Amino acid sequence: DAGVTQSPTHLIKTRGQQVTLRCSPKSGHDTVSWYQQALGQGPQFIFQYYEEEERQRGNFPDRFSGHQFPNYSSELNVNALLLGDSALYLCASSLRLAGVHSYEQYFGPGTRLTVT
């Protein structure tokens, strides 16, 4: 049973560039959430995708956008990169069942983004 996978593992970009990170959810999961974890901090929620739509968004600017595909995989796009965007980007998947609230989110290994 495959867990959550993310690619690439590491990425180095220059300020002002654009980046795309990818995530495949755990088998059987239909919901993908993205988090940003700065060094020494807890993860911060960016947004959540379900049924190919953004369902909820954290306090992140529009430079952060995403997409979910019919196979439930997801992409996180960040435009106009800033030095402060350097962080570990974590993807988490979960299962949304009608009438049943909240299932635990399973995290991938993350993508380490460095902006220079």
Partner 1 sequence: AQKVTQAQTEISVVEKEDVTLDCVYETRDTTYYLFWYKQPPSGELVFLIRRNSFDEQNEISGRYSWNFQKSTSSFNFTITASQVVDSAVYFCALSEAQGSGGGADGLTFGKGTHLIIQP
Nearer to partner 1 by Cβ, of 78 and 108: the residue is: 108
CB-count burial class (<10 Å; 0-12, 13-18, 19+) for 93: buried
Closer residue to partner 1 in complex, CB, 17/103: 103
Binding to partner 1 (CB under 8 A) within 53-112 occurs at: 55-56, 58, 88, 90, 92, 94, 96-110, 112
Closer of 10 and 14 to partner 1 (Cβ): 10
| DSSP code per residue over 50-109 | ETTEEEEE-S--TTEEEEE-TTS-EEEEE-S--GGG-EEEEEEEE--BTTB-----EE--
Which residues of the shown chain bind partner 1 in the complex (CB under 8 A)? 31, 33, 35, 41-48, 50, 55-56, 58, 88, 90, 92, 94, 96-110, 112
